[in-house]
Chain A
Amino acid sequence: MRPLLSLLALLLLASCVSLQISEVSDLVISDQQVWQGEVRINGVVRVTRKGSLTLLPGTRLVFSKFDRDGDGIGDAELFVEGEFVARGTADRPILLTSGAANPQPGDWKFLYLDYARKAEIEYLISEYAYSGIQVHFCRAQIRSSEFRYNVDGVRFSTANISLKESYLHHNRHGIRYEERGGRGVVQRNRISDNQIGIFAVTRGAGRTLFELNDIIDNEPYQVKMGQQQAAALDFPRNWWGNVSGLSAETVFDQRRDWSLGRVTATDPLDRPINATRPTEGD
């Protein structure tokens, strides 16, 4: 009886491994799924509140470029309300990218965490999206990841986010956030070569700590306040690219529009942190 059960288990395992999917359209995940390899996504993948999606090291999600609503932004997306665990490794990062021949920012929509029950991300690269990742109304831990060639690299609102040791570059906005009572820690990241390094859109009250980051070469603005950001914000202990700290010319705040709050950058570092560039290359 025992050998028979073992054989049955082996057959089951073999059948699992042989179930290979390389392409999905609109998909709802309400169970526990583990993906690896390459998957082309031609629609909206939604992980429901009951569902769980784990991406193994080296997984590549390739989002097709299509625009259902004609707003000029790609509509393929990964939308998570349940659990999302994406732990790559330095050698085998997880890649979320565009399937277009000539990829551009906004080819696909986003990785969107909305009231997600669990969100743990390490060594993930997200590129050519409208938002490399959006986090709303939930906790998320993001470490050693890379967000590049997106409109928004990392975007969050009303979230409890931990963003560490990651590299955000060549996005329109490196980080775009609406604090709205949320709390966050943004530490030891390199935020460089974006048009706007940090875009504080509205309702920021200093509950998100940005410290020990290298925030450099974001032009025209290292830090920009959005239209309704009336409170002052401090960005302490960061390296701004020179020993004199954050230059007023690279800030859009009260000095340009009296209705906005003022940006300060107390205790600027006098040398780079050399925040890691964890997943360069793919």
Chain B
Amino acid sequence: MMKVLRSVPVLLLLILCVANMAFSCVGKSIEIGTTGSVQQEVLANIIAELIGERTGTTVKVVSFKSSTEAHAALLKADIDMYVEYTGVGQTVILQAQPLADAAELYKAVKERYNQELNLIWLKPFGFDAAQSLGVTLPAEAAPVVRKDTLKKFPALARLINKLGGKIDQQTISSLEKEASNGQSKQVAHGFLKNNRLI
């Protein structure tokens, strides 16, 4: 029980006001989308752990059923980023013709996403996503981030780009295998620790 005491000599004034005030949150938080596969879960958690560990920012991983859903959420600012594949970006999102050369494909989607959607493709992780996904469409996987998120967190691009080229074919296969039991967060943490990134 609480007793409220007042030192004011004569009048006792107790003011209890109900106010639906939402004060500033704990800090700025970031939400990362995934599209359900083990590979997506691992990559999203690698980014989440890296950001959380290096900046102290709260990061939440949110699941979607497809790239299309995640992309829609990204456009609406429901999330800040997700990992996309250049081939999907080119043919599904942008409805453009496939390109055979991986570097040209990356350059093409990066440019159009930036100009038309205000979204930024960061550096690809380094593995051949087409091969890893067992599809024929030439593709790389890379984080796609809202431009306003990068403005809010100026150090974010440089931080996430530390992952650029760090995950080759063998590494992603190994990480997926490790994470197949649902331990994506722990696997991601271990990867970052082993690579001295956290």
A residues whose Cβ falls under 8 Å from a Cβ of B = 12, 15-17, 19-22, 24-39, 44, 46, 59, 68-69, 71-73, 77, 79, 109-110, 112, 130-131, 152, 173, 176, 199, 201, 220, 226-228, 252, 256, 259
A15 and B12 within 8 A (CB): yes
Chain B nearest CB: distance from A280 CB in Å?
A: 25
- Spot the interface stretch: B3-11, B36-44, B130-138: B3-11
Query: Which B residues between 12 and 34 are near A, CB-CB below 8 angstroms?
Result: 12-23, 25-26, 29
Chain A nearest CB: distance from B50 CB in Å?
A: 9
Q: B60 at the A/B interface (Cβ < 8 Å)?
A: yes
B26 and A73 within 8 A (CB): yes
Chain A nearest CB: distance from B186 CB in Å?
A: 14
Q: B159 at the A/B interface (Cβ < 8 Å)?
A: yes
| Among A16, A17, A30, A110, contact of B26 (Cβ-Cβ < 8 Å) | A110
Q: B198 at the A/B interface (Cβ < 8 Å)?
A: yes
A77 and B23 within 8 A (CB): yes
Q: B76 at the A/B interface (Cβ < 8 Å)?
A: no
A19 and B3 within 8 A (CB): yes
A27 and B17 within 8 A (CB): yes
A20 and B2 within 8 A (CB): yes
A71 and B17 within 8 A (CB): no
A227 and B4 within 8 A (CB): no
Q: B155 at the A/B interface (Cβ < 8 Å)?
A: yes
| Among B7, B56, B196, contact of A176 (Cβ-Cβ < 8 Å) | B56
**Number of contact residues on B: which range applies?**
35 or more
Q: How far is A33 from B22 in the complex, measured between Cα atoms in Å? A: 22
Q: How far is A227 from B56 in the complex, measured between Cα atoms in Å? A: 9
| Among B15, B23, B60, contact of A72 (Cβ-Cβ < 8 Å) | B60
Q: How far is A269 from B26 in the complex, measured between Cα atoms in Å? A: 35
Q: Whose C-beta in chain B lies nearest to the C-beta of A72?
A: B60
| Among B3, B13, B19, B158, contact of A36 (Cβ-Cβ < 8 Å) | B3
Chain A nearest CB: distance from B25 CB in Å?
A: 7
Q: Whose C-beta in chain A lies nearest to the C-beta of B26?
A: A130
- List chain B residues, Cβ under 8 A from A22: 1-2
A34 and B29 within 8 A (CB): no
A32 and B23 within 8 A (CB): no
Q: How far is A21 from B7 in the complex, measured between Cα atoms in Å? A: 17
- List chain A residues, Cβ under 8 A from B63: none
- List chain B residues, Cβ under 8 A from A259: 158
10 contacts between A and B (CB under 8 A): A16-B4, A17-B5, A28-B15, A36-B3, A37-B1, A37-B3, A44-B19, A71-B25, A73-B26, A259-B158
A227 and B5 within 8 A (CB): no
| A17-B10 contact in complex given A30-B15, A31-B15, A130-B26, C-beta closer than 8 Å | no
| Among A33, A46, A199, A220, contact of B23 (Cβ-Cβ < 8 Å) | A46
Q: Whose C-beta in chain B lies nearest to the C-beta of A256?
A: B196
The 9 closest A-B pairs by CB, nearest first: A37-B2, A227-B54, A28-B17, A39-B2, A37-B1, A34-B5, A21-B2, A22-B1, A130-B26
A71 and B58 within 8 A (CB): yes
Chain A nearest CB: distance from B24 CB in Å?
A: 8
